[in-house]
Structure 1
Amino acid sequence: MVFGRRTRMWAGALVVACVVLMGPSAPTGALFARPLPAGAVKGVVPDRVMTWNICNPCGTSNLDRAREIATYAPQVIGLQEACVRDVEKIRIHLRRFYGLVYHVRYGTVLQDWGRCGGVPWNPGGYGQAILSAAPLTDPVSVEYPDGGSEDRGYMAVTATVDGQSVRVFNTHLAQRRQEAVRAAQTKVLAAAVARYDRVIVLGDFNAVPDAPELAPMWELATDADPRCRPLSAGGCAPTTDWQSKFDYVFLRGIVPLGHRVHPTSYSDHDLLHTDLDIDQGTTALKADR
């Protein structure tokens, strides 16, 4: 009888330890994936890119996050507020339940036990991540000199989109009501983007299109939504629960074919994707020269 009581105590302690190690953003324990909704794509879309702030810590199941991604199956997706442990679980679910294999690179700017779990001496990495159906090369991760109330940065990789090699950036700018900090961050990002003729910039900029701090990006690139411009911000589809456009797919030397915002109950930001024509943008660049 004593042995049975001790066994139960050890089992309970093990469960508690697992919860601590997995952290508050770990999945809720679903064992089976729901089928994809009607209209979901059948495999990776080679010319599609997506950006999504997945919200941490929000207590969302990584299985649900994987299902959202699999529904639209982009070639490349930039995630913000991404814990390394969460992204690894999302990749496992995408492969196991939906047959989608993604490579990954991280732009970690924080080691955050509160957001990402782990143990105090080995907390989980937190920041950005880029997933791609094709291998990623030449990764760069840069922390902004001033992150504001929380460290922030950008990452960049060379990816394959629409069969072409292209430089892809992913960023998360300072939180709201920190306009001056975001202005400095945007200048750092724009200087890096300006080195390339053909670029995709994904991210949560925490600013509406006509915000002054986004001016350096508008000077270099256009939004994937052709109706969305600084002087016509009313035509920009909102991407957040508070009905603001904070999320962007900025394009430089690349032509968008279609643009969609997909509301989701699994984050306070919606999924945003665009389909691209890389060849057409390249042809236009050559003609300009």
Structure 2
Amino acid sequence: MCVHTEEAAVLKSGGSRLLVCAVALACWALVGPSAPGGALSGGSLPVEAVKDVLPNRVMTWNLCNPCDASNLDRAAEIAAHAPQVVGMQEACARDVDRIRDYLEAFHGLVYHVEYGTVLENWGRCGGAPWNPGGFGQAILSAAPMTDRVNVEYPDGGSEDRGYLAVTTEVGGRPVRVFNTHLAQRRQEEFRKDQVRVLATEVARQDRAIVLGDFNAVPQAPELGPMWDLATDADPRCHPSPVGTCAPTTDWQSKFDYVFLRGIAPGEHRVVPTEHSDHDMLYSDLDVT
């Protein structure tokens, strides 16, 4: 009997990722999409697999946790836009592993992954009580990543928060990429200190991309240090009240950002999704 691909991905700890992908493809070919609520759904698979990423495209996406979403559907949404780099927040390490495997198995997209775990939490990410799943940030990159730094903010507010930073390639150039998730709404006093910690590191970079869920609208005072260092991927979006910033959440607020330092923005888009309470946000960049 075939195992579903969600279950097959877990087996990668005892074998190669290629074997997992092969099992996933074989099972889908034999049994087809699973019933509603299962890992597979007929709308998840493209007619043709994507062959390559767009080398200058970056994306940020809060996956929503806990949310009843299929990792196969999440992978299909990412593959539809084929970014070079994806920053994920509210990400369980096991979910990210599966998303990466599905991107390769069903869409021909091969990514490296780095994790920015800030919690080991059974309630958030399952696992055995003595081995709960890791929760926090993650970065997928089509190019290798180096110089990984994972920082937990001194005070996360009601839940631990932090940022993950790596050096990778975007548009053929090395770039420092940050991925963060700030304290929850109505916790401005914590976000203020968190932004200061993050901005201090971003300021040391000549060229940087800062992805993440900042849980604050552009006019929020605590975002001031970021605006002093960087611009939004949407040139129309800025902290002035006359700025035009597309909302990125189900409650019609802009909380998700692609901040750029020393990099010019290109095409950008907020992509509505049924699989999270945050929309996907991507931008094509000019790193020259």
TM-score greater than 0.5 by the shorter chain: yes
8 Å CA contact retained: 1:37, 1:71: no
Q: Secondary structure at the match of 1:230?
A: coil
Q: State TM-score, norm by structure 2.
A: 0.85
Q: How many Å separate the matches in 1 of 2:273 and 2:199?
A: 30
Matched AA of 1:192: E
Matching of residues 214-225 of structure 1 within 5 Å = 214-225=223-234
CA gap 1:243/1:58 in 2 versus in 1, 3 angstroms: same
Q: How many Å separate the matches in 1 of 2:163 and 2:139?
A: 11
Q: How many Å separate the matches in 2 of 1:102 and 1:253?
A: 25
Structure 2 match to 1:271: 280
Q: How many Å separate the matches in 2 of 1:220 and 1:134?
A: 26
CA gap 1:31/1:265 in 2 versus in 1, 3 angstroms: closer
The match for 2:45 among 23, 35, 52 is 35
User: Shift of the alpha carbon at 1:57?
Assistant: 1.1
Matched AA of 1:197: D
Q: Could you give the per-residue CA deviations for residues 60-98 of structure 1, whole angstroms, max 9, x where no partner exists?
A: 000000000000010000000000000000011000000
Structure 1 segments unaligned to the other structure (5+ residues): 1-17, 280-289
User: Shift of the alpha carbon at 1:32?
Assistant: 6.4
Q: Secondary structure at the match of 2:282?
A: strand
The match for 1:89 among 82, 98, 109 is 98
Structure 1 match to 2:190: 181
User: Shift of the alpha carbon at 1:30?
Assistant: 1.7
Q: Secondary structure at the match of 2:251?
A: coil
User: Shift of the alpha carbon at 1:104?
Assistant: 0.4
Matching of residues 188-267 of structure 1 within 5 Å = 188-232=197-241, 234-267=243-276
Q: Could you give the per-residue CA deviations for residues 1-27 of structure 1, whole angstroms, max 9, x where no partner exists?
A: xxxxxxxxxxxxxxxxx8xx99xxxx8
Give the total of aligned pairs. 255
- 1:106 pairs with 2:120: no
Sequence identity of aligned pairs in percent?
Answer: 70
8 Å CA contact retained: 1:80, 1:172: yes
CA gap 1:59/1:42 in 2 versus in 1, 3 angstroms: same
Matching of residues 94-173 of structure 1 within 5 Å = 94-173=103-182
User: Shift of the alpha carbon at 1:233?
Assistant: 5.6
Q: Could you give the per-residue CA deviations for residues 194-232 of structure 1, whole angstroms, max 9, x where no partner exists?
A: 110100000000000000000000000000000001004
User: Shift of the alpha carbon at 1:59?
Assistant: 1.5
8 Å CA contact retained: 1:33, 1:97: no
8 Å CA contact retained: 1:28, 1:60: no
Q: Secondary structure at the match of 1:148?
A: coil
Q: Secondary structure at the match of 2:209?
A: strand
8 Å CA contact retained: 1:45, 1:74: yes
Q: How many Å separate the matches in 1 of 2:84 and 2:280?
A: 14
User: Shift of the alpha carbon at 1:137?
Assistant: 0.5
Larger Rg: 1 or 2?
1
Q: Secondary structure at the match of 2:144?
A: coil
8 Å CA contact retained: 1:209, 1:233: no
Q: Secondary structure at the match of 2:225?
A: helix
8 Å CA contact retained: 2:56, 2:284: yes
Structure 2 segments unaligned to the other structure (5+ residues): 1-6, 12-36
Q: Could you give the per-residue CA deviations for residues 157-188 of structure 1, whole angstroms, max 9, x where no partner exists?
A: 00100000000000000000000100000000
Q: State TM-score, norm by structure 1.
A: 0.85
The match for 1:63 among 61, 72, 77 is 72
RMSD: 2.0
8 Å CA contact retained: 1:157, 1:168: yes
Q: How many Å separate the matches in 1 of 2:175 and 2:47?
A: 31
8 Å CA contact retained: 1:36, 1:70: no
User: Shift of the alpha carbon at 1:258?
Assistant: 1.0
Q: How many Å separate the matches in 1 of 2:285 and 2:168?
A: 14
